[in-house]
Amino acid sequence: MGLTWFRTKLKQTEVDYEFLKRCCENLTEENRRLQKEVQELRALKLSPQLYMQMTPPTTLTMCPSCERVSKPFFSTTSSTNPPPSEAAAPRSLRPPFLDAPPQR
């Protein structure tokens, strides 16, 4: 085995090390975030009265023709806001990349 093989092997080892180091840093950060989320969820579980006092999330719909996000139409709104047409169903606000297969 020549010196070239060892240099090539050393370079590949360095590249692998940097890649694994970045992976480890990303996983460490994600682990911290998840631990914080678990603590928050446990705090909610321990104080259900606080959970019950929280206001429900606002429902949003997207008009397909204008791509604008708006609150749902209720009959009590003013006449300046016409109801959305029945043919235009609301679109999902979920980003499409969440449903895409993972890429490597």
Please state, in angstroms and rounded to a whole number, the distance separating the CA atoms of residues 91 and 104.
Answer: 29
Maximum average pLDDT range among 12-16, 49-53, 76-80, 90-94? 12-16
Widest distance between CA atoms in the chain? 84
Domain count, the chain: 1
Q: What tokens does 75 get?
A: 């009959």
The answer to whether residue 34 is domain-embedded is yes
Whole domain around residue 18: which residue ranges?
Answer: 3-73
> What is the rounded CA–CA span in Å between residue 96 and residue 44?
30
Q: Is the pLDDT of residue 7 over 80?
A: yes
pLDDT in tens, 72-99: 555 454 455 555 555 555 566 666 666 6
Asked whether residue 52 is domain-assigned, the answer is yes
32-50 average pLDDT score:
86
Question: Distance between CA 39 and CA 33 in Å, rounded?
Answer: 10
Average pLDDT value for residue range 17-36: 97
Which amino acid is residue 44, in one-letter code? L
Confidence class for position 17, pLDDT limits 50, 70, 90: very high
Q: Are 64 and 93 in contact (CB under 8 A)?
A: no
Residue 16 lies in a domain: yes
